[in-house]
Structure 1
């Protein structure tokens, strides 16, 4: 790698993993599991979560999740997103990759760890109807919204900038209901149409709204403290994430409607940024490589039996 690109790669890895000098220990442990896990090579989850469009999806998921003021209240009152935004991002990536690439036991343990942190997240918030309500991160309604926003974001970004998905959109949505159940969501939709219908139902019910609290989070997501080298690319990814949102969600978030003729150059710019990121990070994530080593070991063990 050229002397110019090496620092860019270092800053990108640092942003995604929390540090750039070593592979995190939790990733290396994915090699040590004792079964294939919930997914595997060729699964929709491996394809979607291992692709570069996840860089857009992560931003989009945060924006959409923020419109539910119960979910937003927990982030504002209990998260260290201001003090340690990269740490929070790395924690989210850790859960996604552990469930996607880990063994069954690792996926269950990783999800339980997140849920144990959620048990202290509780308080009150003013909902979209102006009513003060209690909230808890363990509340199935809030957990379901987080799942819906996450799944829709990753599916939508991959559909626009990724390749074919094994089993199509329905394949991905159905597979990722396993992650929902690990997080206490037992009624997650299993099709793409059901997913978007569920998001529409929450929207139509008036449970989402903008306002000063949402504006604060949006300002932070728009200009997070990423390294200077990455800021031009991040601006493209942010605009890309906004462009994929439904008009009614963009309006609640305070974004103007963008003329459709401007989407084509944005799509091209986004594709270029994602190609560049893929060139720096490589065709497979470290988590996937660790999972493949585990699967290879398990295959050898079966052959020796």
Structure 2
């Protein structure tokens, strides 16, 4: 008896559900435009940024990035006041995932247009924290923190959970690729290899601590996500793996438990299984690497 059809159907249903949750109702149209429009790209098909951003480990890295970014009080104040992460968390996820997809895979013109749109939004985001400190989302220093926290998170998640982890030179190339997007967004002299990334992260350490808003955001993201009951157990595994990759000081600042080594090992095993399942579900038999390569080479 042929059992391939039911498994294929299950994969398709799960893949569509995951993609819709991350990319939103406009996801299929955006995907067709991003991958199907001919023209020059910022990054070629064999680039390190495509290897990292195209892997299911991004599910862990994205959540880790949000937790780590919240530890800068000015960044957290801007998010709390202007992003709508509570009222419209999925909308924020859709916009972020679309931006990453366009800048990683889209044409150079579309990537620049996406960057220009984000810069226009950042220019309008300004205010004062409860403690009286002024913030402006277009501040290059603040943009720099958001960038390095994100790149560090995606890199670490890919090292641990990626289907094909890169070698050291490959991860240096990834940091260099992301620097192109960061510079376009207004980051001054973004790091271009892992050593520079580590130095830049360390330079922000004296500015970082968990405000009340950061702790509330962590509770919302980890304990009260707006998800149907059936999705809560897998999400709990995802959240546990995101937390387990944070440095100890970050967990302590956010009031999150830092699990012992044995527990971290169990969490990582569950994380590998979950990320593997997500990767299996999101694999698209209708679109091959050769097809994407032809589109990029036609640029």
- Whether TM exceeds 0.5 here: the answer is yes
1:179-228: CA deviation from partner (whole Å, max 9, x where unpaired): 1111101311111122122111211x2x1111321111001111311233
Pair 1:202 & 2:204 matched: yes
* Structure-2 residue corresponding to 1:260: 261
Flag the 1:171–1:5 CA change in 2: closer, same or farther, 3 A: closer
Match of 1:54 among 46, 55, 58: 58
- Cα distance in 1 between the residues matched to 2:150 and 2:285: 21
1:122–1:136 CA contact under 8 A, matched in 2: yes
> In 2, distance between residues paired with 1:87 and 1:151?
22
8 Å Cα contact 2:141/2:188 also seen in 1: no
**Mapping of residues 108-123 of structure 1, within 5 Å:** 108-123=112-127
CA displacement 1:29-59 (0-9 Å, x = unmatched): 2222421x11111111000000010000000
Per the normalisation by structure 1, the TM-score is: 0.88
Matched, 1:133 2:133: yes
Identify which range, 85-94 or 1-10, moves more after superposition.
Answer: 1-10
Task: Kindly state the Cα deviation for residue 175 of structure 1 after the two structures are TM-superposed.
Answer: 1.4
Q: Which runs of 5+ in 2 are unaligned?
A: none
| Bigger shift: residues 284-293 or 24-33 | 284-293
On the 8 A contact 2:11/2:280 being kept in 1, the answer is: no
How far, CA to CA, are the matches of 1:175 and 1:83 in structure 2?
33
- C-alpha distance 139-284 of structure 1, shift in aligned 2 (>3 A): farther
TM-score by length of 2: 0.89
Report the more deviating stretch, 49-58 or 212-221: 212-221
CA displacement at 1:293 relative to structure 2: 5.4
Give structure 1 stretches of 5+ with no counterpart.
300-305
Per-residue CA shift, 1:232-251, capped at 9, x if unaligned? Answer: 11111111011111111111
Q: Say if 2:38 and 2:295, in contact at 8 Å, map to a contact too.
A: yes
Q: Secondary structure at the match of 2:192?
A: coil
Is residue 173 of structure 2 the alignment partner of residue 178 of structure 1?
no
Residue 87 of structure 2 is aligned to residue 80 of structure 1: no
Alignment match, 1:227: 228
Q: 1:34 aligns with which of 28, 34, 39?
A: 39
- Residues 217 and 149 (structure 1), Cα distance of their counterparts in 2 relative to 1, 3 Å cut: same
**Relative to 1, partners in 2 of residues 1:71 and 1:232: Cα closer, same or farther, differing over 3 Å?**
same
**Aligned Cα root-mean-square deviation (Å):** 2.3
SS of aligned partner of 1:256: coil
Deviations 1:106-146 (A, max 9, x none): 111111111111221100125xxxx6321111011111000
How many residues are aligned here? 289
